[in-house]
Homo-oligomer: A and B are copies of this chain.
Amino acid sequence: MSELNVVGKSYPQIDALEKTMGKTRFVSDLVLPNMLYGRILRSPFPHARIKQIDTSRAETLPGVKAVVTYADTPGVRFGPRTEDWTIFARERVRFCGDEVAAVAATDEDTAEEALDLIRVAYEELPFVTDPLDAMKPGAPLIYEDKPGNIAAEFKIEAGDVDEALKKSDIVYEDRYCTNQVYQAYLEPMGAVADIDQSGRITLWAGTQIPNMMRMTYARALSVSPDSIRVIVPDYGGGFGGKFENNVHLIAVVLAQKAGRPVRVFNTRHDDFIAGNPRVPMYIDIKIGATKDGLITGKEVQVVGAAGARVVYAQAIVSTACYRVDSLYRFQHVRATGYTVYTNTVPTGCFRGFGNAQMTFVLESSLDIIAHELNMDPAEVRLKNAIGPNEVSVHGWEIKSCALKECVSKATETANWSEKRKRKEKFKGIGIACCNHVSGNRPFAREFDGGAGIVRVGRDGRVLVFHGESDMGQGQKTAYAQIVAERLGVPLERVHVAPVDTDISPFGCGSFASRGTVMGGHGVLAAANDAFRQLTEIAATMLEANPQDIECREGKFFVKGSPETTLPFRDVADQATRFRHGAPIVGTGFYDPPTVLPDPKTKYGNISPVYPFACHIAEVEVDPDTGQVDVVNYFAAHDSGRVINPMAIEGQIQGGVLQGLGWVLMEDMVTEQGKIINPDFLDYLIPTAEDAPEVKSILIEPVDPNGPYGAKGIGEPALNPVMAAVSNAIYNATGIRMKELPISAEKIFVELKKQKK
């Protein structure tokens, strides 16, 4: 592995040209013969009883082919985790946006017009939108069988926290509040559904979890999972937002009723009010340290708002409770998490998956502790940082770990000490670290790991099949590089098939920063199998032993005799001839060294590798307006060996910018139970104008458990941003913000207070 030819080199994403030239066919571009257009009627109230639905006028509108409500569905309760969904609201709506009815018509305008003709008689009910309010006695109950509106409670404890805090030289205790933000992918959610004569469903959807989704939907539709085929064409982003959603199921139900294919895509407004944005949290933290800056113990309580349905909020709250515990050498920790129903949009996965929320809190707290102890915040991180070949408090077996190098390299590159010394007014510098997983054993439950199929065609074209999902993050390119490296061919020879549950291997999907490690190992194993078959042919042609055959840059040769080569294409062609048309098909899988954690203690190694990062933000705060300008940004990452430096820098820049949006600008504002800024006019995300120069620093330990030593990058790129910026703002202004976003308005108010 000393000499790599494709892995470790920068390449534009293999589909970059198609995308740049506007040639990519995204899922919402799909047209089927005879296809209808669907639109969804959503609740205008946060909580109401449905007294009557009259669809008769809509049904008679020319061009309308199907109108569906709860009455047209199997009516079962389902959900990816908690079975609290129905496809359409039954009797009650529980959030503004709840699905009440849907229409399929010959065009979008007719469908829209038909929605206006559906008469729904509602009786408004009292509602609650704040999770702390929702937990109070007397709060309106969103589900009768959930007292206190508590959907789930999570507890984890290790060591003796009380004793540890008691013995601390300093204990910091506070409440933080993280807000609700939207994934803001370019292409709204939706699907095209088609039903064949046997009733089998084909669903084209942009989804991060094609295989798991179809299992959820099979329950929703009361059919077997093999009655559903999910195909994932190119789609415009996900960032965690594209898991299960009723919009897909509504396409199916409309197609079933109309007997024609139906396309249903959210408008941007629909996507804001009925997507699955980030879980907003109240986080109480109590953390102790010695006067030398060593963390003694930590206790947290997380209250997360699930909205009207638990989508993945429960898992996200759990993650918030304890993932950071493996960032430092914690020994005594306790956490309680409450996932709470509210009459708001159901919340789900978003890059960082709870860890981002808690990283903001922990890394703010460490900054405060460092300040209290008059220590360099970087020093505090270095003192507590977990290291390679350690086992964390929750049993995570960390192999490679360059967290300390991340801190050192980031501070060195940022000129951290110097800048802190010659501190100027309203200019500040802040630091934050993070850890993450690359796969999460308990998430998919049934099994972890990855699998691949590698087909070598007669012409030497290599096609890779995987069961994960490329939402634009570049998964396909990483797989192509791994397979190209293993087979010894140039990257352009390797192509990656779209996921199709009928054809691809089973894969858990794109979440938990698992794609490169799990899927990468899966396609690598398949490439090994294909290579073995190829060497058998090449060996015959070169009159050598298969084990002596190598391939490099598309040429086979016998080890030690690189002067006689055989083009890869010729070997593939010969293989197909020898095999009378049968292409080389390699299959393989990866069995990660993970375990399902103990159900009680959660102790156990949940990921094969663990990435780490340290970010440093430099800000200037406008004293007159409170506006924060991020002038410099340094992101040091240990993501193991980097498969594609250009791609990982893209991930880092994207993650940082998304984090900057969250910490400084973005907020889904709910008033009277209604999101009042559900569009890009009122909900501002950063643009290129807002982007600082992000200096990526890549530290590359070769992890023994990563494919070619790689670890994940997707989420670590975002996790530390909020704290790094908040800490820099504190450094610039002395203002400590504990509620996101840290908008200019809020700083302005604080600055005014300071002036008094």
Which residues of A are interface residues toward B (Cβ below 8 A)? 17-18, 21, 23, 25, 29-33, 196-198, 224-226, 446-453, 455, 457-461, 463, 467, 495, 497, 501-503, 505-508, 522, 525-526, 576-577, 579-583, 585, 587-591
Contacts and interface: CB of A to CB of B under 8 A. Distances in A.
A541 to B, nearest CB: 16
Contacts of A458: 506
Nearest to A525: B582
19 contacts: A31-B33, A226-B459, A226-B460, A448-B580, A449-B580, A451-B581, A451-B583, A453-B585, A457-B502, A461-B502, A463-B502, A467-B581, A505-B583, A506-B581, A580-B591, A581-B589, A582-B588, A582-B589, A583-B587
Contact of A225 (B25, B452, B459, B505): B459
A447 B581 CA distance: 8
B522 A582 contact: yes
A502 B456 CA distance: 9
A446 B577 CA distance: 8
A493 to B, nearest CB: 9
A729 to B, nearest CB: 44
A524 to B, nearest CB: 12
A503 B457 CA distance: 8
Nearest to A463: B502
A458 B25 CA distance: 29
A426 B17 CA distance: 74
Nearest to A497: B503
A507 B580 CA distance: 8
Given A506-B581, A582-B587, A589-B579, A18 B447 contact: no
A467 B458 CA distance: 12
A695 to B, nearest CB: 32
A591 to B, nearest CB: 6
Q: Which 9 A-B pairs have the closest CB atoms?
A: A449-B580, A451-B581, A226-B459, A451-B582, A506-B581, A582-B589, A580-B589, A17-B197, A29-B33
A460 B224 CA distance: 12
Contacts of A503: 455, 463, 497, 503
A550 B502 CA distance: 25
A581 B449 contact: yes
Contacts of A31: 31-33
Contacts of A224: 459
A532 B449 CA distance: 24
Contacts of A25: 32-33
Contact of A461 (B197, B226, B497, B526): B226
A489 to B, nearest CB: 13
Given A453-B582, A585-B587, 20 more contacts: A17-B197, A31-B31, A225-B459, A226-B457, A226-B460, A447-B577, A451-B579, A451-B580, A451-B582, A451-B583, A453-B583, A457-B506, A458-B506, A461-B502, A467-B581, A503-B503, A505-B583, A506-B582, A506-B583, A526-B582
Contacts of A587: 579, 582-583, 585
Contacts of A507: 581
Nearest to A506: B581
Contacts of A590: 580
Contacts of A502: 457, 461, 463, 495, 497
A522 B576 CA distance: 13
A581 B18 contact: no
Contacts of A226: 457, 459-461
Nearest to A224: B459
Nearest to A501: B457
A448 to B, nearest CB: 7
Contacts of A452: 582
A506 B450 contact: no
A447 B580 CA distance: 7
A224 B458 CA distance: 12
A197 B24 CA distance: 9
A460 B225 CA distance: 11
A590 B580 CA distance: 6
Contacts of A522: 580-582
Nearest to A28: B33
A461 to B, nearest CB: 5
A577 to B, nearest CB: 5
Interface-centre pick from A198, A225, A503 (highest chain B CB count, 10 A): A503
A23 B505 CA distance: 28
A386 B197 CA distance: 47
Contacts of A225: 459
A582 B506 CA distance: 6
Contacts of A576: 506
Interface-centre pick from A31, A526, A582, A585 (highest chain B CB count, 10 A): A582
Contacts of A591: 580
Interface-centre pick from A21, A32, A455, A522 (highest chain B CB count, 10 A): A455
Contact of A18 (B196, B463, B582): B196
A491 to B, nearest CB: 13
Contacts of A447: 577, 580-581
Contacts of A196: 18, 23
Contacts of A460: 226
Contacts of A450: 580-581
A195 to B, nearest CB: 9
A449 B576 CA distance: 11
Contacts of A588: 582
A505 B451 contact: no
A539 to B, nearest CB: 19
A226 B449 CA distance: 33
Contacts of A505: 581-583
